[in-house]
């Protein structure tokens, strides 16, 4: 689901060769129907189950993108010479990363490749975010994040996020406070990895708003594995979710699923 950081965020749903601008479909009834076929997004092999959001089991076991260090960057093992795909690691991990603070369902810390700003924040449904540190590698970002986790959450409560209930936060003040708290750890990391590998970011706060007409009160979820047809009036899009009047659907979860999408005229 490609995104554009406009105000509100622009969402396009890609189904095969077709692109559907979701912002223009608000208020319309849409049907998403899963055919029962899942194809690996890497090798196109048919698979009964999707692993790591779109991969077949062999790819899941083999690709660096599916390794456990992707979820836990502090476990990056490129420097040990054991990266599953060192070339992929060079472009995706051994490159500049940003440690940021975001407000998705409250204050959270996260990391992303520098080129994924602000896409990563939109993926999480953050209403605001601010870079805190620029670091040389994914591994370093992971180590900084570990230090931050003692003070700040690293998860989004997606139900709160989808209800549009993120509290007001002063992210610049939070950034200053957290930097002060992790100063000893930052000093140690800079001493170990080099002074030029960690830099405090002075960026302003990004605000993001989403195309949502009606916020759901009670969150029900559509599950295409159990009920292949999801149908309802599109009331909004936020994070990776479509908000239908009949429930929400996490589109990312169904990457690789062969689906047909119909928009009912009136
Ligand atoms: Zn595969």
Residues 36-60 pLDDT 10s: 999 999 999 999 999 999 999 999 9
Tell me how far CA of residue 224 lies from CA of 172, 187, 260, in angstroms: 40, 48, 12
Residue 3 binned pLDDT confidence (cut-offs 50, 70, 90): confident
Residue 78: CB atoms within 10 A of its CB come to: 20
Give tens-digit pLDDT for 242-261. 999 999 999 999 999 999 99
Is residue 94 within 8 A of residue 85, CB to CB? The reply is no
Instruction: Say how many Å lie between the CA of residue 88 and the centre of ligand 1.
Output: 16
- The chain-wide mean pLDDT, for the chain, equals 95
Beta bridge pairs of residue 221: 248
This prediction has a pTM of 0.93
Residue 11: pLDDT over 70: yes
Q: What percent of the chain has pLDDT over 90?
A: 94
Alpha helices in the chain (DSSP H): 57-62, 68-71, 86-92, 119-123, 138-149, 158-162, 171-181, 183-193
Instruction: Say how many Å lie between the CA of residue 143 and the centre of ligand 1.
Output: 31
Beta bridge pairs of residue 97: 113, 135
Instruction: Say how many Å lie between the CA of residue 56 and the centre of ligand 1.
Output: 4
Residue 184: CB atoms within 10 A of its CB come to: 9
Cis peptide before 188 (omega within 30 of 0): no
Give tens-digit pLDDT for 139-189. 999 999 999 999 999 999 999 999 999 999 999 999 999 999 999 999 999
Residue 216: pLDDT over 90: yes
DSSP assignment letter at 221: B
Is residue 130 within 8 A of residue 101, CB to CB? The reply is yes
Q: How many CA atoms lie within 13 A of 42 on its CB side?
A: 17
Cis peptide before 6 (omega within 30 of 0): no
The residues near 84 (Cβ < 8 Å, ≥ 6 apart) are 62, 63, 64, 67
Instruction: Say how many Å lie between the CA of residue 40 and the centre of ligand 1.
Output: 5
Structure tokens at 22: 């979701």
Structure tokens at 71: 């979820």
Residue 137: pLDDT over 90: yes
3-class DSSP state for residue 191?
Answer: helix
Q: How many CA atoms lie within 13 A of 59 on its CB side?
A: 18
Predicted local confidence at residue 159, as pLDDT: 96
The protein residues having their C-beta less than 5 angstroms from ligand 1 (an ion) are: 40, 42-43, 45, 56, 59
Tell me how far CA of residue 223 lies from CA of 39, 167, 248, in angstroms: 18, 29, 9
Q: How many CA atoms lie within 13 A of 218 on its CB side?
A: 2
The residues near 124 (Cβ < 8 Å, ≥ 6 apart) are 102, 104, 108, 110, 156, 161, 239
User: Which residue shows structure tokens 């500049």?
Assistant: 96
Residue 266 binned pLDDT confidence (cut-offs 50, 70, 90): low
Element (H, E) at 36: strand 29-38
Residue 213: pLDDT over 70: yes
Instruction: Say how many Å lie between the CA of residue 50 and the centre of ligand 1.
Output: 10
Instruction: Say how many Å lie between the CA of residue 256 and the centre of ligand 1.
Output: 10
Predicted local confidence at residue 4, as pLDDT: 74
Phi, psi of 138 (to 5 degrees): -65, -40
Instruction: Say how many Å lie between the CA of residue 245 and the centre of ligand 1.
Output: 35
């Amino acid at each position: 689901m490609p995104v554009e950081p406009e105000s509100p965020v622009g969402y396009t749903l890609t189904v095969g060769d077709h692109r559907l601008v979701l912002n223009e479909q608000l208020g319309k009834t849409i049907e998403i129907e899963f055919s029962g076929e899942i194809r690996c997004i890497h090798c196109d092999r048919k698979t009964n189950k999707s692993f790591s959001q779109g991969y077949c089991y062999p790819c899941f076991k083999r690709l660096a993108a599916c390794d456990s260090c992707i979820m836990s960057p502090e476990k990056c093992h490129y420097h040990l010479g054991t990266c599953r795909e060192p070339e992929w690691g060079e472009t995706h991990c051994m490159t500049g990363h940003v440690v940021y603070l975001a407000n998705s369902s409250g204050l959270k810390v996260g990391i992303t490749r520098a080129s994924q700003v602000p896409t990563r924040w939109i993926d999480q449904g953050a209403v605001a975010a601010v870079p805190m540190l620029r670091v040389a590698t994914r591994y370093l970002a992971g180590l900084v994040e570990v230090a931050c986790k003692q003070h700040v959450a690293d998860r989004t409560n997606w139900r709160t996020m989808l209800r549009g209930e993120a509290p007001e936060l002063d992210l610049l003040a939070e950034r200053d406070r957290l930097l002060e708290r992790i100063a000893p750890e930052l000093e140690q990391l800079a001493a170990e990895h080099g002074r030029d590998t960690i830099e405090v970011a002075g960026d302003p706060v990004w605000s993001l708003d989403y195309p949502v007409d009606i916020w759901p009160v009670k969150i029900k979820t559509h599950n295409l594995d159990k009920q292949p047809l999801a149908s309802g009036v599109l009331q909004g899009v936020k994070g990776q979710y479509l908000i239908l009047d009949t429930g929400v659907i996490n589109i990312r979860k169904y990457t690789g699923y062969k689906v047909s999408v119909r928009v009912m005229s009136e």
